[in-house]
Structure 1
Amino acid sequence: MAVKDIRSRLLEALEAEAAAHGADIVDVEVAGASKAPVVRVRVDRAEPGEPVSLDEVASHNGWVGDVVEALDPFPGSYTLEVSSPGLDRPLRRPADFERFVGEPVQVRMAGHGGRRTFTGTLMGLQGDDVVVECDDGTHALPLADVQSAKLRPVF
């Protein structure tokens, strides 16, 4: 099975269980060699507010491990890492782009008017477009063409 398919199956199964545990599955990543794969699951609080604590992340290890094990995505062993989303939290769902309106973001596109990267302030969604206000103006970027998007921490 392709890594993309494994990631999709894991994401779907974890999202189905997350609400019952007060969690939000931010992202799932499958990395490493096929002989030693690593499954990285980033979790956050279901409700916006304070960042998720290390104790909260640790409390999610059990049920996340059970869900991954039930799917048995790899023929041999694998490493499971459960962590917080970090300061540069990935944005992938429409709800993420609404939740973090006003925050600094970086959006990478497959190509949009000859440009791939847009860094600025997230203005939210307009229809199926992610709206980002950059130094050179406001850009409406088709959500379907977004390759990656993440918060950009300001120090």
Structure 2
Amino acid sequence: MVKSKLEQEIIDALEAVAQDHGIDVVDVEIVGATKAPCVRVRLDRLDGESISLEDVTAQSAWVSDCVEQLDPIAGPYTLEVSSPGMARPLRRPSDFARFVGEPVELTTTAMQGRRSYKGTIAQATDTQVTLELEGEDPATISYDEVKKCVLKPVFDFKPKKEEK
């Protein structure tokens, strides 16, 4: 995954202590205006259980201390600590492998050709991901070319049919 140098520094600093807290650092993004950006940190639990609002609140203090110690941005910024949400970002090969069979939206850094894909993760190796695309041939993309990838939530509002 392509991350800015600053985002990667924050990820590295947080990951150095996250396991001690039973936490997985899902993603870090720096978004918003350059004068007062937002550092967005998404966390999940290492044990595979969904992280609750109480868990996020309990983890915010050490995340804040770690980011402050790094002092990544000169001037004011906002720190936002949250769960990965339904449109969970996928950052590492292990994330892609965990969600094989799930629908995703993926953007690449490729300057030539196609940059955006919507499909289902068919396979994930240590170096690339293969997506099944509806009505198209599968696409295999190197993680080095992935700019952003998020799970695409599927909502099924149809009532279940009762068995007779």
Tell me whether the two structures share a fold, i.e. TM-score over 0.5.
Answer: yes
Structure number with greater Rg is: 2
Letter in 2 for 1:145: E
Distance of 1:11 and 1:132 partners within structure 2: 26
Q: Percent identity?
A: 47
Residue aligning to 2:128: 129
Q: Secondary structure at the match of 1:12?
A: helix
| 1:61-140 alignment, distance < 5 Å | 61-111=60-110, 114-126=113-125, 128-135=127-134, 136-140=136-140
Distance of 2:68 and 2:109 partners within structure 1: 34
Residue aligning to 2:39: 39
Q: Which fold has the larger relative contact order, with Cα–Cα distance below 8 Å and residues 6 or more apart in sequence? A: 2
Higher strand share: 1
Are residues 123 and 112 of structure 1, via their aligned partners in 2, closer, same or farther at CA, if it must alter by over 3 Å? farther
What displacement does 1:18 show? 0.8
Tell me the number of residue pairs that the alignment of Structure 1 and Structure 2 aligns.
Answer: 152
Q: What is the RMSD computed on CA atoms of the aligned residues? A: 2.0
What displacement does 1:134 show? 1.2
What displacement does 1:112 show? 8.6
Greater displacement, 134-143 / 15-24:
134-143
Distance of 2:95 and 2:153 partners within structure 1: 16
With the length of structure 1 as denominator, give the TM-score of the two structures: 0.88
Are residues 119 and 97 of structure 1, via their aligned partners in 2, closer, same or farther at CA, if it must alter by over 3 Å? same
Distance of 2:9 and 2:111 partners within structure 1: 30
Are residues 111 and 21 of structure 1, via their aligned partners in 2, closer, same or farther at CA, if it must alter by over 3 Å? same
